[in-house]
Amino acid sequence: MESSNPKQKIRINENRTIGREEKTFIVAEIGQNHNGEMENARKLIDVAAEAGVDAAKFCKRHIPSELTEEAYNRPYRGPQSFGETYGEHREFLELTRDQHSQLAEYARGKGLIYFASACDRKSVDDMEYIGVPLYKVASRDLTNIPLIEYMAQTQKPIIMSTGMATERDIEHALKTIYEYHNKVVLLNCTSEYPCDIEHVNMNKMDTIKETWGTIVGYSGHTVGIQMPTVAVARGAKVVEKHITLHRHMRGSDHSASLEPEGLEKVVRDVRNTEKCMGDGKIEVKEYMKESKKKLARSLVLDKSIKEGEKLTENHLTLKSPGTGIIWRNRGKVVGLKAKDDYSADVLVEENMFR
C-alpha cells in the first residue's frame, strides 16, 4: 500500500494547511449539539470563532440512508430524546442542505473553515453543493467502503477517526482513499461518551504514525481540557473537541462536550504547547546566556598562591559567576606558574599564569 509522507502538507484552502511543521488544526465539533435549532448552531459557531479555532464541524445525515425501517420505528423515549421513535429523534436533529449552506456562509464570515462528517452519499452531495474543502469520516464508517470511495472521488482531504476500527479496517479504508489521493489524517479516538481517562490510549497515536506514516491527530471525548494538550505534545496536528452551549442541555453528546470557557482554554493551552516544543537542539540559547553568566560555576582560587608557584587542582574550587574557566578546561592553567601573588577567592583567568 502507498503510504502518506509524514512530512507532507495537506492544503485545506488558500489560508490553511495541515502538516508536521504547521500549527495544530483545531476543530470545534458542533455535530448535532445545535439540537436542530439554527439559533443554537449560529451561537456555537460564534463560540468557536471567539475561542480562535480553525474550523467548525457539523454532522450531516440522510435518515432514509441511515436507518432500516425497523431501526427508524424503534421506540426512543427518554430524557435525551427528541422524538417518540429513534428515527423521529434523528430527523429532529437534522438540518437541511439549505440550512447548512447558510451556516457555512455564516462560519466563513467568522473566519472559520466549515465542514462535516458526511454519513452517506446524499450527504456528500449536499456538502459538495455547499463547497466544503474537506471531509470527516466518523470511526463507525471506516468499514463503509462505498461511502469512503465516494468521498475520496471528490479529491478533497479526509480526516478519519479510528475509535471503532481494527488495523484491518484502517488498512482497507486507506487503500480505498489512496486510489484517488493521499490527503489523509488519522485521528486517535476512543468511541466512549464520555471517555474514561484510562481508555484514551494516547500511545495509539504513535502506533498509527509508525504503521501508516500519515499525519496524526486526536479526537477526544473525555471530560475536561487536558487531553488535547497531551495529544499535541505527542505530535497531534489535528485536534477535535465537541462543544456545547451548556453541558446540561438535552441530548446525548452535551455531557462530554466543552462549554465556551473550556474551548477557549483548550485553544490557549494547545497554542502554548506548540510554543513550548522548540527546535529540539541542545544548546545555550541567546536568552539563557545572561543567566549562565550569573549562575554557572567558574574556577576560583581556593587558597592564595605566590608568584612563581605552580598551580595545582588543590588551589582550585568552583564558584559563580560563570564568566571564567569551567572545570573541564582547567588544563589551560593547571601546571602553570603564577605571574604574581594572588589571594584566595579570586576568579582564575589564563593571563594570571605562564
The pair phi, psi for residue 277, each rounded to 5°, is: -70, -35
Q: Is the pLDDT of residue 1 over 70?
A: no
CA 73, CA 89: separation in Å to the nearest integer?
10
Is the same domain home to 106 and 204? yes
Count of beta carbons in the 10 Å neighbourhood of residue 129: 12
Is the same domain home to 308 and 187? no
Angle value at C-alpha 75, between 74 and 76, nearest 5 degrees:
110
Q: What is the mean pLDDT of residues 121-150?
A: 97
Q: What is the mean pLDDT of residues 238-261?
A: 91
51 burial class (0-12, 13-18, 19+ CB within 10 angstroms)? Answer: buried
Say if CB 56 and CB 107 are below 8 A apart: yes
Q: Which three cell numbers stand for residue 199?
A: 481508555
Instruction: Answer with the residue of higher pLDDT: 148 or 250.
Output: 148
Q: Tell me the pLDDT tens digit for each residue of 159-178.
A: 999 999 999 999 999 999 99
Is the same domain home to 139 and 228? yes
CA 287, CA 253: separation in Å to the nearest integer?
46
Q: Tell me the pLDDT tens digit for each residue of 38-76.
A: 999 999 999 999 999 999 999 999 999 999 999 999 999
305 burial class (0-12, 13-18, 19+ CB within 10 angstroms)? Answer: buried
Is the same domain home to 293 and 182? no
Strand partners, 25: 238
Helix, strand, or coil here: 54? coil
Is the same domain home to 85 and 207? yes
Residue 134 is assigned to a structural domain of this protein: yes
* Residue 308 banded pLDDT, cuts 50, 70, 90: very high
Residue 25 is assigned to a structural domain of this protein: yes
* Residue 5 banded pLDDT, cuts 50, 70, 90: low
Give Cα 171 to chain centroid, integer Å: 23
Is the same domain home to 236 and 272? yes
Instruction: Check which CATH number belongs to the domain holding 344 and give it.
Output: 3.90.1210.10
What's the pLDDT at 328? Answer: 97
CA 76, CA 106: separation in Å to the nearest integer?
33
What's the pLDDT at 7? Answer: 64
Say if CB 242 and CB 53 are below 8 A apart: no
* Residue 190 banded pLDDT, cuts 50, 70, 90: confident
Is the same domain home to 211 and 98? yes
* Residue 316 banded pLDDT, cuts 50, 70, 90: very high
Residue 182 is assigned to a structural domain of this protein: yes
Helix, strand, or coil here: 258? strand
Q: Which residues contact 213 (CB under 8 A, 6 or more apart)?
A: 3, 4, 5, 6
Where a domain ends, among 255, 277, 299? 277
The pair phi, psi for residue 238, each rounded to 5°, is: -135, 135
Is the same domain home to 38 and 119? yes
Q: What is the mean pLDDT of residues 294-322?
A: 97
Count structural domains, the chain: 2
Residue 136 is assigned to a structural domain of this protein: yes
Say if CB 242 and CB 47 are below 8 A apart: no
**Percentage, residues of the chain above pLDDT 70:** 98
Q: Is the pLDDT of residue 3 over 60?
A: no
Q: Which H, E and C letters describe 84-153, residue by residue?
A: CEHHHHHHHHCCCHHHHHHHHHHHHHCCCEEEEEECCHHHHHHHHHHCCCCEEECHHHCCCHHHHHHHHC
CA 284, CA 296: separation in Å to the nearest integer?
12
Q: Which residues contact 257 (CB under 8 A, 6 or more apart)?
A: 29, 33, 241, 242, 243, 244, 247
Provide the residue range defining the domain that includes 103. 10-277
Instruction: Answer with the residue of higher pLDDT: 193 or 144.
Output: 144
Say if CB 320 and CB 297 are below 8 A apart: yes
Is the same domain home to 197 and 262? yes
Q: Which residues contact 7 (CB under 8 A, 6 or more apart)?
A: 19, 20, 21
Is the same domain home to 166 and 253? yes
Pairing mode of beta strands 215-220, 238-242:
parallel
Is the same domain home to 241 and 293? no
Q: What is the mean pLDDT of residues 112-120?
A: 97
Residue 109 is assigned to a structural domain of this protein: yes
Residue 101 is assigned to a structural domain of this protein: yes
Report pTM: 0.89
What's the pLDDT at 287? Answer: 94
Q: What is the mean pLDDT of residues 22-37?
A: 96
Q: Is the pLDDT of residue 331 over 90?
A: yes
Say if CB 192 and CB 176 are below 8 A apart: no
Is the same domain home to 199 and 299? no
Q: Tell me the pLDDT tens digit for each residue of 11-20.
A: 999 999 999 8
CA 335, CA 107: separation in Å to the nearest integer?
75
What's the pLDDT at 196? Answer: 87
* Residue 351 banded pLDDT, cuts 50, 70, 90: very high
Instruction: Check which CATH number belongs to the domain holding 244 and give it.
Output: 3.20.20.70
What's the pLDDT at 271? Answer: 97
